[in-house]
Structure 1
Amino acid sequence: MPNISEGRFVVVGGASLLGSHIGEQLLAKGAREIVLIDNLALGSTKNIDFLLTDKRCSFVRGDALRLNELYDPMVNADGVFAVAGFLAGPLRANPWLGIDVNVRGLQNILEASRYQRVKKVVFSSSNGIYGAVGNEPNTDDSPLRWAGMPPALIMYCASKIMGEGLGLYYQQEYGLDFLALRYSAIYGERQHKRAIAVTQMVRAYESIRAGKRPIIERDGSQVTDYIYAGDAARANLMAMSSQASGAGMNIVSGIDVSQSHLVELVLSACDSDLKPEYYTDPDTLLLPIERKLGFSRARAKDSLGWEPQVSIEEGIAKMVKWLDQNPV
Structure 2
Amino acid sequence: MPGISEGRFVVVGGASLLGSHIGEQLLASGAREVVLLDNLALGSTENIDFLLADKRCSFVRGDVLRLNELYDAMVDCDGVFAVAGFLAEPMRANPWLGIDVNVRGLQNILEASRHQRVKKVVFSSSNGIYGAVGNEPNTDDSPLRWAGMPPALILYCASKIMGEGLGLLYQQEYGVDFLALRYSAIYGERQHKRAIAVTQMVQAYERIRSGKRPVIEEDGTQVSDYIYAGDAARANLMAMSSEASGAGMNIVSGVDTSQNQVVELVLKACKSDLKADYYAAPSKLLLPVETKLGFSRARAKELLGWEPQVSIADGIARLVTWLDQNRT
TM-score, reference length from structure 2: 0.99
Give the superposed CA RMSD. 0.5
Partner of 1:178: 178
Q: CA deviation at 1:300?
A: 0.2
Q: Distance in 2 between matches of 1:69 and 1:211?
A: 46
Q: Distance in 2 between matches of 1:98 and 1:176?
A: 25
Q: CA deviation at 1:281?
A: 2.4
| Residue type at the aligned position of 2:198 | V
Partner of 1:161: 161
Partner of 1:257: 257
Q: CA deviation at 1:327?
A: 1.8
Quick check: 272-281 or 5-14, which moved more? 272-281
1:289 and 2:289 aligned? yes
- Equivalent positions of 1:38-77 (< 5 A) are 38-77=38-77
What is the DSSP-based 3-state SS (H/G/I as helix, E as strand, rest coil) of the residue aligned with 1:162?
helix
1:26 and 2:26 aligned? yes
| Residue type at the aligned position of 2:162 | M
Partner of 2:324: 324
1:314 and 2:317 aligned? no
Per-residue CA deviation, residues 14-42 of structure 1 (Å, 9 max, x unaligned), is 00000000000000000000000000000
Partner of 2:105: 105
- Equivalent positions of 1:231-242 (< 5 A) are 231-242=231-242
Q: Distance in 2 between matches of 1:139 and 1:247?
A: 13
Q: Distance in 2 between matches of 1:17 and 1:38?
A: 12
Partner of 1:199: 199
What is the DSSP-based 3-state SS (H/G/I as helix, E as strand, rest coil) of the residue aligned with 2:52?
coil
Q: Distance in 2 between matches of 1:282 and 1:201?
A: 20
1:276 and 2:279 aligned? no
Q: Distance in 1 between matches of 2:114 and 2:174?
A: 7
- Equivalent positions of 1:242-253 (< 5 A) are 242-253=242-253
- Equivalent positions of 1:66-145 (< 5 A) are 66-145=66-145
Q: CA deviation at 1:282?
A: 2.5
| Residue type at the aligned position of 1:122 | V
| Residue type at the aligned position of 1:180 | A
Q: CA deviation at 1:133?
A: 0.2
| Residue type at the aligned position of 1:37 | L
| Residue type at the aligned position of 1:113 | S
Contiguous gaps of at least 5 residues in structure 2: none
What is the DSSP-based 3-state SS (H/G/I as helix, E as strand, rest coil) of the residue aligned with 2:173?
helix
What is the DSSP-based 3-state SS (H/G/I as helix, E as strand, rest coil) of the residue aligned with 2:244?
coil
Q: Distance in 2 between matches of 1:64 and 1:195?
A: 20
Q: CA deviation at 1:236?
A: 0.1
Per-residue CA deviation, residues 66-98 of structure 1 (Å, 9 max, x unaligned), is 001100110000000000000001111111111
Q: Distance in 2 between matches of 1:283 and 1:133?
A: 22
What is the DSSP-based 3-state SS (H/G/I as helix, E as strand, rest coil) of the residue aligned with 1:225?
strand
What is the DSSP-based 3-state SS (H/G/I as helix, E as strand, rest coil) of the residue aligned with 1:249?
strand
Partner of 1:218: 218
| Residue type at the aligned position of 1:95 | P
Q: Distance in 2 between matches of 1:147 and 1:72?
A: 42
What is the DSSP-based 3-state SS (H/G/I as helix, E as strand, rest coil) of the residue aligned with 2:247?
coil
Residue identity over aligned pairs, in percent, reads 85
Per-residue CA deviation, residues 93-118 of structure 1 (Å, 9 max, x unaligned), is 11111110000000000000000000
Q: CA deviation at 1:58?
A: 0.1
| Residue type at the aligned position of 1:287 | L
| Residue type at the aligned position of 1:50 | F
| Residue type at the aligned position of 2:169 | Y
Q: Distance in 2 between matches of 1:25 and 1:98?
A: 28
Q: Distance in 2 between matches of 1:89 and 1:326?
A: 25
Q: CA deviation at 1:280?
A: 2.1
Q: Distance in 1 between matches of 2:65 and 2:214?
A: 38
